[in-house]
Amino acid sequence: MDAQTSSTGNRATHQQSDTTDPTDFTKSLPLESSGGGEPQPSNVLALSPSLTLTLDDKCLAISGIDRTATKTAKRDHRSCGIGVPVRGRSKKSIDYYNVLWAEVTEDRQHLRIDFAEQTHEHYLEARNLSFPLCHAASEETNTASLAAVSSWIENLLCRSYGKSSRRKRAWVVVNPHAGPGGADRIWRKQVKPIFDAARMPMTVVRTSYSGEAVKLAKDLNIDDFDIAIPCSGDGLPHEVFNGLGQRPDARRALSKIAVCHIPCGSGNAMSCNLYGTHRPTLAALAIVKGLPTPLDLISVTQGNKRTLSFLSQALGMIADLDITTEHLRWMGPHRFTYGFLVLAMQKKVYPCDIAIKAEIEHKDGVKEHYRKQVTQQGPQQQFQPGDGDGDGESDQGLPPLKYGTATDKLPEGWELVPHEKLGSFYCGNMAYMAPDTNFFAAALANDGLMDLVMTDGDISVMKNIGLQLSMDSGHFFDSPLVTYRKVSAYRIIPRVQDAKCCISIDGEAFPWEPFQAEVHQGLGLTLSKKGLYEAPGPLNWDKVTTTERLVA
């Protein structure tokens, strides 16, 4: 493992820079009056008669930008930074969501604006614009002018960040061997420049063996950081959550450190759910602008071991699909397609006894619950450094188990039901399990419930293939071959010992032995784009039902 610390201030970076021609900046900028009160900062910054920066409703509009600016080829060192000038002036707009930072440089000579610009499909690059600020003849006038610029900058940043905090202190964990490999290069070349441009203080560590992030998170000084950013597949977030969960102050740590994700692996489910993408640069921007979102976590007990799960628990075909294709990581997400076709033809069943603490039994009820939760979702509170500091219970370890462990007596009211032809038992805390694989359409980040899908293993190969294809069309949830429930806890006891079988927890292999799970509402913390998962929800969840029409 190696470590490095990075913090970007006003120094120049290697990002592409567009610099306008020097202009005369000889008088203070106007302030708008609110009618006798304190003057309000203007939305228009006039740097010269021909160059203005305007804060529109949805974007920063720049009029009169010099098109003769040198464009530096970021990756082509052979260009020596020499660009091809294009005469004339033009207009440019930058969405507020893409604005990363703005400031007057230390020498007070330039206004610099950093932003993320889409340069290819699904790909962003950190860029900046620099506008010279010529000093006025009078020092008093110049001071007033700079004050107006600073006020305009604050206005821009408020519009750009909204309720998201700026300059989040990040603990970055890179797994160089994640997925098909290349995570370290993705971090250095694609993601870090965006975080640098957003002026995020960062401490970066690289793992050298599986499970190392558990120890690192357990020993982390949580007061030094606001967010943790694993750069990997879904395995590294799993380790970070469990490391925080092993601390004496687990509840405080889990509620203070927002665990995020830069997708560098095969599945990248966490990024797909929180940011709606498995592209690293798009995920990076979503983290910069992310909103604090409480996240349900699940305690999974097996023997004397307690593990936290943030994503899913699987037994049967889904678990075999995840674990038995580990050697095919070089294929990326295509390993899952190949593995599914191989397993579907086997029509294997996994006899088990299952006890479920069901809260919503039927699909109509699940849809109604989803609709109520989404439509009643309130605005997220602003995430501030130090949030999560508490006393009493919040400083203690993990919450006690309400239903005990898999080795305890079956809880009162639970009933073990035999399932002779079980094909897949899949319990999810998030919707997407991989890009375009929306297994749990009604999953919510913090409703205090797990989404449970069960299918039989003896269905025909063609029906099985059709079932998987139904996820693309959004019909998987409504398929009669799928049992879908909202549950708060369950216990599974495999009836046949099979050394080739395993249980998958967040994609990690666990022994083929009895286990039990229960959910803890809002125990963890993450960042998302809008406080909800990016999955579209069950098909037609927002439509008025026949019952509602009759009642109306």
Can you read off the two tokens belonging to residue 25? Answer: 């900046």
Q: What is the pLDDT of residue 338?
A: 60
Contacts (Cβ under 8 Å, ≥6 apart) of 270 = 234, 237, 261, 263, 310, 311, 430
Q: How far, in Å, CA of 28 to CA of 407, rounded?
A: 74
Q: What is the pTM of this model?
A: 0.85
Contacts (Cβ under 8 Å, ≥6 apart) of 306 = 299, 300, 398, 401, 405
Residue type, 246: Q
Supply φ then ψ for residue 47, to 5 degrees: -85, -20
Q: How far, in Å, CA of 526 to CA of 506, rounded?
A: 16
Catalytic residues: 234
Helix (H) or strand (E) holding 521: strand 515-528
Cα–Cα distances (Å) from 1 to 176, 189, 202, 219, 344, in that order, read: 10, 20, 16, 15, 40
CB 383 within 8 A of CB 226: yes
Report the candidate in 388, 381, 445 with the shortest Cα–Cα distance to residue 164: 381
State the Cα torsion 485-488-489-494 to the nearest 10°.
20
Q: How far, in Å, CA of 279 to CA of 111, rounded?
A: 31
Segments of 122-275 assigned E as strands: 123-132, 170-174, 202-206, 227-232, 258-259, 262-263
CB 487 within 8 A of CB 452: yes
Q: What is the pLDDT of residue 13?
A: 42
Q: What is the pLDDT of residue 336?
A: 59
Q: How far, in Å, CA of 464 to CA of 470, rounded?
A: 10
Q: How far, in Å, CA of 79 to CA of 77, rounded?
A: 5
Instruction: Please report where in the chains the tokens 């993990």 appear, as a residue.
Output: 398
Supply φ then ψ for residue 40, to 5 degrees: -100, 145
DSSP letter for each residue of 348-385 = ----EEEEEEEEE-SHHHHHHHHHHHHHTPPPPPPP-T
Q: How far, in Å, CA of 176 to CA of 209, rounded?
A: 10
CB 126 within 8 A of CB 195: no
DSSP letter for each residue of 477-509 = TT-TT-EEEEEEEEEEEESS--TT--EEETTEE
Q: What is the pLDDT of residue 35?
A: 45
Per-residue pLDDT of the chain (552 residues; tens, 9 = 90+): 544 444 444 443 444 444 444 433 333 344 443 444 444 557 999 988 888 999 999 999 999 876 544 333 344 333 333 233 334 468 899 999 999 999 999 999 999 999 999 999 999 999 999 998 876 555 665 666 888 999 999 999 999 999 999 999 999 999 998 867 789 999 999 999 999 999 999 999 999 999 999 999 999 999 999 999 999 999 999 999 999 999 999 999 999 999 999 999 877 999 999 999 999 999 999 999 999 999 999 999 999 999 999 999 999 877 776 656 555 555 665 555 666 666 666 678 889 999 999 999 999 999 999 999 999 865 444 444 334 444 445 568 999 999 999 999 999 999 999 999 898 899 999 999 988 889 999 999 999 999 999 988 777 777 777 777 777 778 899 999 999 999 999 999 998 887 778 899 998 989 999 999 999 999 999 999 999 999 999 988 887 555 554 443
